[in-house]
Structure 1
Amino acid sequence: MANDARKIRFAPNGSLFIAPAPTGGIGSTVLPTAVGDGIAAPVGYKSLGYIDPAGVTLTPSVETQPVEVWQSAVPVLYNVTKASFSIKATMQETNELTTELFWGSEWKPVMNGQTVTGDYRLDLSSTPDFKELSLVVDWQQGALRYRCVIPRAMISDRGAIQLNRTENGKYELTIEALDFNGNLGYVLTNEDITGEGVSNLPAPA
């Protein structure tokens, strides 16, 4: 296959969406099966808003163990011992969704007896309860759209918040995929990636 610069891809725009992890019960999150329009959130998901210019980092990882034998100086195969998929992003908006996700707790109104004071409180637990969530990462280049769906995931790491005069508050999160019926997730695209001539790209104007 000849080199083709037209096949080089960038991700100048995208979005990050979350929802509760699917449980299979009534009202459970329904995983998206289409790549979407590049704008609207999947049904049942909420947008995390503006993301740091570094974008979103997707890291699939596989750990293996070599199988060595007497008859060969090199391994004859590798056995998979661990697989993982991590998503890292830094959220730029300070709102109920991003802060509760970052701190692992919920905002509650401060009460004075039966009266709402107008203040809100978020308790920082010594053992934060990071709930299972479902994650969708959208990115696009022009009319070409991609979507990565992680059915089940949990927050595995948080970055530091820097409070200063010249830079806005940011919420850095690393999220790790969990097993979902033998899968970590899946990727959708409207690009004719297989070269079969089938795609849902919009018709030329």
Structure 2
Amino acid sequence: MAPAPDGTAGSTVLPVDLGDGNTAPAGYQGLGYVDEGGVTITPSIETDPVNVWQSAVPVLYNVKSAAFQIKCTLVETSAVTTELFWGASWVPQLDDKGQETGIYRLDLASTPDLNEFSFVVDWSHKGILSRAVIPRAMVADRGAITLQRTEAQKYELTIDALDHSGDLGYVLTNNNIKGTGPTPPNPAG
């Protein structure tokens, strides 16, 4: 995760390479472990059919809406994951002398600000690296936190892409999908 690019000098530079599959791109913060349910990436298009008298089937479909969504459940409790989940920032509490007490407070506003950010998901399989990049995103939904003795705290998030100059995002891979380049290494043989 990183701040959404805003076109100014020093703003987030979107990744154009795959990296090593283990390290967040330059300028991005890693969010740590995701629960065993994994990450769900859903591109979707909603259409309206164009029906005509001369045909029993539509002759065309018009795009009504498009979406690119990522859903995951984070299992690491850190400043970056909890601030993303709660939509607010931790503030150290001070004593009457202005010294930090070791207690942090996160205020939940009744009219919260919706923060924009850039989001990247990396995955790999047998030497094939892939990366989904969403230049501009917002948290669209948050799941409930269930506190159980035998479970870690989990932070379920649904992240929706926002328009970025006509794009929702993009996917990179070193898989020889077109069959025209070198085949990436396969450590499994």
TM-score > 0.5, shorter chain as reference = yes
**Off by >3 Å, runs of 4+ in structure 1:** 202-205
Kindly tell me the number of residue pairs found equivalent between the two proteins.
187
Q: Which amino acid aligns with 2:39?
A: V
Find the aligned partners of 2:77 and 2:181 in 1 and give their Cα distance.
44
1:154 aligns with 2:154: no
Pairing of 1:61-80 with structure 2 (within 5 A)? 61-80=44-63
* Alpha carbons of structure 1 residues 71 and 203: separation in structure 2 relative to 1, 3 Å: closer
Find the aligned partners of 2:180 and 2:51 in 1 and give their Cα distance.
41
TM-score in terms of structure 2 length: 0.95
Percent sequence identity over aligned pairs: 61
Gaps of 5+ in 1: 1-17
1:50-80 C-alpha deviation (Å, 9 max, x unpaired)? 0010110001110100111121122111111
1:16-68 C-alpha deviation (Å, 9 max, x unpaired)? xx001000112100000011111111000010000010110001110100111
Q: Is the 8 A contact 2:127 2:186 kept in 1?
A: no
**Which stretch shows the higher mean deviation, 126-135 or 169-178?**
126-135
Q: Which amino acid aligns with 2:130?
A: Y
TM-score in terms of structure 1 length: 0.87
Find the aligned partners of 1:39 and 1:80 in 2 and give their Cα distance.
37
1:83 aligns with 2:66: yes
In the other structure, the counterpart of 1:56 is: 39
In the other structure, the counterpart of 1:26 is: 9
Residue 128 of structure 1 aligns to a residue in which SS? coil
Gaps of 5+ in 2: none
Q: Is the 8 A contact 1:103 1:128 kept in 2?
A: no
Q: Which amino acid aligns with 2:64?
A: T
User: Aligned Cα RMSD in Å?
Assistant: 1.5
Q: Which amino acid aligns with 1:28?
A: S
